[in-house]
């Protein structure tokens, strides 16, 4: 419990009371502060969110193919993921792929 580990703590209604130090606190569980979500930012520092549309700011070669995602390509409905490449998306004419947020700009 917060503040006090006394074994003599007792409940009084919605409060817990410690007779040793007179500390009182709510018996209702304090919601844990949620883990801060990883913030993904684009090349210029805009915070990206799921569903955002972005523009590719650099020609990106696609691994294992001769295709290139050209600078200026618009990508809609991105999905943020964990990893080296932090954007999952689908690009018209290319298909599903992953991008690095450092190479896109929020549209």
Q: With respect to Zn ion, which residue has the nearer C-beta, 2 or 45?
A: 2
Least distance in angstroms from the C-beta of 2 to Zn ion: 10
Q: With respect to Zn ion, which residue has the nearer C-beta, 8 or 84?
A: 8
Residue 103, helix vs strand vs coil: helix
With contacts defined by CB under 5 A, name the span among 1-9, 60-68, 81-89, 96-104 that binds Zn ion: 1-9
Phi, psi of 63 (to 5 degrees): -50, 135
Q: With respect to Zn ion, which residue has the nearer C-beta, 10 or 68?
A: 10
Question: Whole-angstrom Cα distance, residue 69 to residue 62?
Answer: 7
Query: Which positions from 4 through 43 interact with Zn ion, judged by CB under 5 A?
Result: 4, 6, 18, 20-21, 23
Tell me 39's DSSP state: P
**Binding of Zn ion at residue 1 (CB under 5 A)?**
no
Contact 85, 78 (CB under 8 A): no
With contacts defined by CB under 5 A, name the span among 2-10, 34-42, 45-53, 94-102 that binds Zn ion: 2-10
Is the Cα torsion angle 70, 72, 77, 78 positive or negative in sign?
Answer: positive
15-17 vs 24-26, strand pairing mode: antiparallel
Q: Which residues bind Zn ion (CB under 5 A)?
A: 4, 6, 18, 20-21, 23
């Amino acid at each position: 419990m917060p503040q006090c580990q006394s074994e003599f703590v007792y409940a009084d209604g919605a409060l817990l009371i410690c007779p040793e130090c007179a500390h009182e606190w709510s018996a209702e569980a304090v919601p844990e502060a949620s883990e801060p979500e990883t913030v993904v930012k684009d090349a210029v520092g805009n915070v990206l969110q799921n569903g955002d549309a972005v523009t590719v700011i650099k020609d990106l070669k696609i691994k294992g193919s001769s295709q290139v995602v050209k600078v200026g390509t618009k990508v809609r409905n991105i999905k943020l993921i964990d990893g080296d490449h932090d954007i999952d998306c689908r690009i018209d004419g290319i298909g599903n792929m992953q991008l690095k947020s450092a190479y896109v700009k929020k549209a």
